[in-house]
Each structure stands twice: as C-alpha cells, then as structure tokens.
Amino acid sequence: MAPKDIQPTFMNDELLGSYGNDYNNNCFIKYLMIHFTVNEIKSAIRRYFLGTSHYWPGATVFWQIDQFMNIRTGKIMLYNKENGKRVKEPYSHITWMHSLLKKDNFVLQQCLFGIHNLCDYKTDDLICIVESEKTAVIMSMLYPEYLWLATGSKSNLKYELIKPLKNYNIVLLPDKSEFEDWNTKAISYRKMGYKISCNVLLEQLNVANGSDFADILV
C-alpha cells in the first residue's frame, strides 16, 4: 500500500472492455448460473464490471474502481464452477492485474470493491461491507436494495478505504470468527463520526469458521 501523500496509479479504462467478455467460460459465472437467472447475472456483471481472464482458464477479474471511476487495479481469481469455492490447490489461484501487465513504477492504493456504485445511493441508504468480492456480488443479487462492497481480505478494513463512506449508514458483515476484530474497528470508526455497526449473526450460528453470508444463503 502506497503512503498517503503519493498519488495512486490508474489503469486504462479500455481494460474493462478487453476483459469484459467470454462469460460462458467464466467459472464464477457458471457457478452463479446454478442459483440465479440470466438477467440477475447480467445485471451483476454490469454493476461490478466483472471480467474474464485467461491467465487461468475461466478466471474472474474483480476490478477495484474508486468512487471517481478510476481503475486502481484488478484482482484475478479462479473459482470452482460447481461449488463456488476459490481454487486453492495445488496453489492459491489469485493474482493482480497490475502484476500481470508488468506496470513500471506502479503505485497501488486499493479501494473497496464496488465503491464506484456509490453515486447511485443516498446517504440514508444502507452500505453493506463484506470480506470477499464473490460475496458482495452474490449478496447484491439477493438484496439489490443495498450497496454491497468488499474489502478483499479480513485485514483490509482500513480507514483509507472507508473514508469515502463518512456520511453513509454502514453495516459490516464479517466472516465467521472475524466479528471481534471488525467490531473493534467499527467502534474506533464510530468515535471518528462514522455511522457504522457490525453484524454479529454469523457468530451465533453453528457454521464453520470462515463462512460468510453467501455460504449461508445460497
């Protein structure tokens, strides 16, 4: 993560079109087809600019586009088309677009996945933050009245990322076993004037550690 006083590098908007195709061979999209209608999936693709990468056949590109429509980077991940789980064997299939494109002197400053949609919501609307991009996409189809964002990792609920949400109503929905950490951060952000709470529901359910709302509801 770059220091605050250094400006991030932005990627070319044309990349969205270059990778915005071949959804019939996208493993994540194939998984969604099991549970959702074609129209629901098309809407989610448009909402999040989901892409397809051939770095691993069938991989998905989850673009990080900030609230000003600047492309910060893209995370590339491969999913199992049958169960929707991320492929982790024989190694974790996750990489970054700026790494693949070998951008010289690239300055990475991440943003919340999905925050480019913030302009479509009012300050009294509910902003829901989960950990994984996959979960944000799925929850946006189940509960489209809310804006669903993702940190991309359990440790990425950072001030720089939530700063654009200062005047919005925010609820955090951490994975099972992560409530204590995220709730501690929510308390600190409330002291800074944020309207933010942390949902404890998963901690009260008999589900495996690491489970999220998409695992429970789909």
Token pair 């677009």 is found at 97
Domains and CATH numbers, the chain: 14-100 (no CATH), 115-217 (3.40.1360.10)
The one-digit pLDDT tens for each residue of the chain (218 residues) are 555 568 999 999 999 999 999 999 999 999 999 999 999 999 999 999 999 999 999 999 999 999 999 999 999 999 999 999 999 999 999 999 999 998 889 999 999 999 999 999 999 999 999 999 999 999 999 999 999 999 999 999 999 999 999 999 999 999 999 999 999 999 999 999 999 999 999 999 999 999 999 999 98
Radius of gyration, alpha carbons of the chain: 17
Report pLDDT for 4. Answer: 56
Q: Residue 60 in 3-state DSSP?
A: strand
Q: Which of 43, 27, 135 is nearest to 83 (CA)?
A: 27
Q: Residue 123 is which amino acid?
A: T
